[in-house]
Structure formats: C-alpha cells, structure tokens
Structure 1
C-alpha cells in the first residue's frame, strides 16, 4: 500500500489547480505589490522571462517583444517580503523610490532553491524527496492546456504551469493516513519532529522592527516569529501567514510599535483606534509623514492606484484599509500550540485546519520549547515510506 501511494503521479495532485500568474524578473517591487492585490494566492511566482501578467504600456517605437527560448521560475514573493523591504530604515524615508526598485531587491538569495520544476509524471515520492531538501513549491506543467483560455498565462512554449505546495502534499497524504500507522499516532518527541534550533523569538516589548530579519528567515523555514515574556513563556507570534493578509499600510506600525502591540494592530478585526493614533503620532515625531495614509485610507506613496489605472476591473471589490485588514480571508493572530506528547497526525491536522505550516511546542506552564514544521513532518513521512518500500 505504501509503495503504491509513493508511486502516485503529481498530475493527480494538480487536478483543478489554477494556472500560475507570473511576474517577470524585469518587474519592480510596485508591480509585485499590485500583483499580490489582484490574486487570491499569498505568493506570486517570478520568472526569468518577460511574460508578466502586469500589463504595462509599451513605448511607441517598440513594435515587437523578443520571445524567450526557455522560461524558468526563479522564485516567489509575498506581501511579507514587500512589508519587510519597505520597513527597512533606508526605505522608510523614501518608500516611493523603494517601490520602484527591481523585484530582485525582495528576492531572497536562496529564493531559487525554494522552487523546483518537475514533470507531471513525477511520483509523490520524488516530490517528498525534493521538498525534504527545502523546496517549498513544485512548478508543474498543466497537461490540459486547452482548458486555459487566457493567453497571458502561457509561456514561450505555449505551456501554462501550476504549483504544488507542502500543504498540498500533506492534504493528499492525510487521505491515506492509515498507511503510516503506527508512525502517525506516535508522539512528536519520539519521532524527532521538534525543532529547537531554528526557533525565532522576540520579547513582547521589543520593537516590531527587530523582527524583520527573523521574518525573512521564517519565510525560508516556513515557520513564524514567537513573542515571549521575560520568563520565556509563549504569549503570541508575528506570523507571516497573518501578515500576508495585510498590505503596505502596516509599514508605519512596523516602524513604530512594539512587537506585542503590532500583533494587536494586524489582527483581522482591524487595529484599535488608540494604536492607530499612536502610530500617527510616532510617525510624525520621526518626520516620516510620507508613510501616513491620505483621507481615503491609502498611503500616498502606494503604487496601487497607478498600477490599477489601466486595469480597472482588477481593483473591483478590493477594500484596502489602514491597519492591514484586507479583502482577503483574514487570519487571527492567535497562535497554534501543541505539546511534545501530541501525536504527529494531531499536529498535522491542526496545521492544515488553520492553513499554517507549523505548530509551536510548549510545556504545560506555557514555556516555549520548540516548533514542528511541515519540513520536519515531511522527514518523518519520507523515512516511513522508504522503510515500507
């Protein structure tokens, strides 16, 4: 049974997957911001070619666009990348200029290692092996090309692509969880699934800006940044999954609030009025008035309006508010926790149910002791499959 499961082709997992909307390596941070506001996914793929779905007016003298011989996905970007980039001290004084930076400015050095092209005939076992190496997204050609009507989604070879995430793999495995008995029912501390090394944490009263580098690392490890009290007890988190539901309007809060207050600010119910006023006062004190929103609630430096002017339908239904409460599905900043004696399948279901790729591990008194990520769980399932096969 395990051998049969491991031989399942990735095309089975790709059924119903939408085609990727891609950005070009020639696009800007502003283009990435506009793109993320147009799609439902938290990430947008970046390619080495010029097939960007952000339509820009071409110079009058330019009548043809050179075609690419090969199109390769070289990474992905999300709203957290943009928020962290705009929140850097050198960009706070001139966010407009920062938005005009090339998209490479927000691509992490290891970004190309986080995505991998695989054929649809590749097996589930191959996918797990690749993801065990640290790959987040598998880029798969869509086999039924005739179902894709938008020519803007096709690359030079007339191919469209979708991608599979670690979450997709786990949802697929969950349907056959009985194959992994008794491993799936074993406590996580007996399976070596608890990571105590790559544990990112700050204190409640630390500046929110102190988490910028940790947030970038948490994207690579698909984890989060914990907030602890002076005794090391877990009190909350600044989660990339919550922050991805925000927009660039949270940059002033990131630059001025404490880590603890920032979690309240980005909660999906919207920021408390007292924190909104506090951010405004501190921004003015730091002479960063360009960061403040105008009367419409949008930042004057945001590229949102200009980017959507040529594509009005893409903005319909969006309601971007101060504080990061976006038109997407909001996620509350309540963190998911488990105990070292929790079973692997329980932790797996907990993560999938809340659409996160990790669960914090705490002691009975609330002390933070580790984290369980999809990466660690994949290692367990991979070893089980190899043993059974």
Structure 2
C-alpha cells in the first residue's frame, strides 16, 4: 500500500475543493481586500496578476495570498498613516517572496507536492478541470468583490499543508510503525530557542514583528513567562495569526498598543473588557496614532444598532476587533494547543488538524516550554518513509 501512494497526484487532493476567490493586484486596494475578506468564508484570498491580452492560462499568475492578519499588521505599524494605508494597492500586503505560493500542473505527484512544501511553499495552485458553463460562471462572479473565474475561463484551487497531512492521515496504516512513534524519538521537536516566543510583558512593537514572522512561517507566537529564571520558560498562551484572521481591521489598534499578555486577553473575547478598550484608546492618543483611533471609532459607530437591542443583548458597537462573520469561521483562542514529548506522531497530527493549526506546542510534565512540532516537520518524516 505504501508503494501505491507514489501513484497519487495533486488532483486526488483537489476533490471537492472550492475555486479560489481572487483579487486583482493592479486594481484592488487594501480597502477592497478588507471588504472581500469580510464577505468571504475563507480567511485567505489569492492576489493575481493577469494579462488578458491572450487567452493563455500561463498569463494569469497568483502572486500570493493575504488575510485579515496581513491587514492588521500593516495598519498597526507606527510609520503607517491609516488613511493612506487603506488606499494603498493590495500588493503592499503581499510577502516579499513569491515562492510561498507555487503553480503546479495537475500531473504533479504527491511526493513532488510534499517536496515543494518542505522546500518552503505554503500553497500549491492547481488548475480546476471542469466543463461547467464559463459564461454563466463569469456572470455570477461579477456580483461580488472578488472573482473565481479569470477572463480566459480558467479556475484554480490550492493545496495546503493541512490538505496533504489530512490525506496522509487517511492512509496512515501504510506507514506502520511510524504513527505510534513519539515525536521525541522521531527527533522532530523544534527547540524553544528556534521558534517565536515573546514575554507576556513584551511591547506592542515586538508583538507586531513577531506576528508578521509567524504569519510568514505559518506558525504562531508563543507568549511565555520565565518567572525570573532565564533557563526555564512557561507557556502562558499564544497570539495566533489564525485568531487575527477572525477579527476586523480595528484589531490593529490593539496590536499597535497592547503588550503580549493584554493582547491575548483582548483577542480571546468577542467583547473585550471596557477597561481594556479604554486602555487602547488612551495609548493611541498618547502615541499620536489618531488614524487608528478614528478607524476604531468610525467602525464601532457604523455597526451601532439604532433599535432592536436590549441593554442585556450583545451590541455590535461593543464588538471591537471581531469580524461580523466570525460565527462562520473557527475563531482560535489564546489558549495554546499543546502536547508532550512522548505524544505519538498520529496523536499530534490529529490534534493539529482538529484545532486547525499547522503546529502543536510541546511542553514537559512540569509545564516548561520545550518547543514546537509543525506540519513541515511531520511531512519530512513521511517523505523519508516514502
């Protein structure tokens, strides 16, 4: 059965996947991206550069993917003027390297796909082969902020790390005895010194930089406390880019002002404590970041209901930082997903997939922070087996 896995290609992983919703790199702004993300069920959107002078699939190229986390990190930088940032081209949200998103042919094998992920690709773009009426699809696409069909009639989907790990989990019996081995014995735990960790008292500027790096690495930011002993760190929680994808752009105000510990508290509730919201306002004023303060005020006012809410009901005006479509997404909490060094490979895979993360934190029996296991580490193990 293990040998039969070598015959699979990426089309076997594309079954049932929806077509990508696409933004134009040449005509979309950051504001357009925000509107599209809020109306999408997918936390990520693809950004494309298309030359429509020729009906050639190769003329449409995916430049990368963006999420609300990219928007929040962009708006929360000290040197950014909020209004001009919102009017900037969507390309400012793209990562500096285009190798994170790669085009592959439907004939690309499973093993080749794993190799590309191990080499650093986040997503593999695969053309969808379908006979659905192109004209009708294009008409339907025109009603939204984004399109799923390019002018040449082509549609695409993408393969993620999670898609591949899920597929391998479905064939897990073929890899015996690998699944029952511990992550410690397999040697796939990234040391705590090699991953992103910030002290719970870390400043906002350190948090912004860490979130940006975690987003690029498809991991998360560990929030730790060493209790005065630099040789030992205790994992308090995390600041996950996937949590921020469930927020709206007003979360940039919290990211730009709060320490790591307070930011966790802010993001962990649909309705942050009023005292914490006021703290954000006070710090924005003291730092002179009036653009973010105006954004915070304008969005809270625009979502304020005129009627239909009692004083005991949840009011959108109090839901700072949370997207109105949050109920349709899996909002991550600050509480970290953890395992221990003796956890089996299969247990860690199931745990990560269940919580929709690309990683699992590792702590020892005393609660000390050991490190992290990522999907890439897991795929390397399976690749050696294949």
Provide TM-score, normalisation by structure 1.
0.85
3-state DSSP class of the match of 2:46? strand
**Number of the residue aligned with 2:171:** 176
TM-fit CA distance, 1:368 = 1.2
3-state DSSP class of the match of 1:269? coil
**Number of the residue aligned with 1:115:** 101
C-alpha contact 1:340 1:361 (8 A) present in aligned 2: yes
3-state DSSP class of the match of 1:209? helix
Cα distance, 1:145–1:39 mapped onto 2, change above 3 Å: farther
Provide TM-score, normalisation by structure 2.
0.85
Root-mean-square deviation (CA, aligned residues, Å) is: 2.1
Question: Is residue 2:181 matched to residue 1:186?
Answer: yes
Question: Is residue 2:95 matched to residue 1:134?
Answer: no
**Number of the residue aligned with 1:322:** 320
**Number of the residue aligned with 1:201:** 197
Deviations 1:201-225 (A, max 9, x none): 1111112331222222212221111
TM-fit CA distance, 1:145 = 4.0
TM-fit CA distance, 1:156 = 4.1
C-alpha contact 2:208 2:256 (8 A) present in aligned 1: no
Q: Aligned pairs, how many?
A: 350
**Aligned equivalents of 1:68, 1:205: Cα separation in 2:** 55
Question: Is residue 2:248 matched to residue 1:247?
Answer: yes
3-state DSSP class of the match of 1:45? strand
TM-fit CA distance, 1:159 = 1.0
Question: Match for 1:225 among 216, 221, 227?
Answer: 221
**Number of the residue aligned with 1:154:** 149
Question: Match for 1:90 among 79, 87, 94?
Answer: 79
TM-fit CA distance, 1:325 = 4.9
C-alpha contact 2:270 2:322 (8 A) present in aligned 1: no
**Number of the residue aligned with 1:57:** none
**Aligned equivalents of 2:302, 2:85: Cα separation in 1:** 14
**Number of the residue aligned with 2:230:** none
**Aligned equivalents of 1:28, 1:354: Cα separation in 2:** 32
TM-fit CA distance, 1:284 = 2.5
**Number of the residue aligned with 2:309:** none
Structure-to-structure mapping, 1:1-389, within 5 angstroms: 1-26=1-26, 27-49=28-50, 69=56, 70-91=59-80, 94-110=81-97, 112-146=98-132, 149-151=136-138, 152=141, 153-196=148-191, 198-231=194-227, 232-292=233-293, 293-294=296-297, 297=300, 321-328=319-326, 329=329, 330-385=331-386
C-alpha contact 1:266 1:325 (8 A) present in aligned 2: no
Cα distance, 1:14–1:154 mapped onto 2, change above 3 Å: same
Contiguous gaps of at least 5 residues in structure 1: 51-64, 301-318
3-state DSSP class of the match of 1:73? strand
3-state DSSP class of the match of 1:248? coil
**Aligned equivalents of 1:382, 1:299: Cα separation in 2:** 51
Cα distance, 1:365–1:150 mapped onto 2, change above 3 Å: same
Between stretches 254-263 and 327-336, larger displacement belongs to 327-336
TM-fit CA distance, 1:103 = 2.1
Cα distance, 1:4–1:368 mapped onto 2, change above 3 Å: same
Cα distance, 1:258–1:68 mapped onto 2, change above 3 Å: farther
Query: Any runs of at least 4 consecutive aligned residues in structure 1 with deviations exceeding 3 A, and if so which?
Result: 65-69
**Aligned equivalents of 1:251, 1:113: Cα separation in 2:** 27
Cα distance, 1:145–1:271 mapped onto 2, change above 3 Å: farther
3-state DSSP class of the match of 2:300? coil
TM-fit CA distance, 1:384 = 0.9
Contiguous gaps of at least 5 residues in structure 2: 142-147, 228-232, 304-315
Deviations 1:315-365 (A, max 9, x none): xxxx69313254222222211011111111111100000001100111222
3-state DSSP class of the match of 1:9? coil
**Aligned equivalents of 2:211, 2:254: Cα separation in 1:** 15
C-alpha contact 2:240 2:332 (8 A) present in aligned 1: no
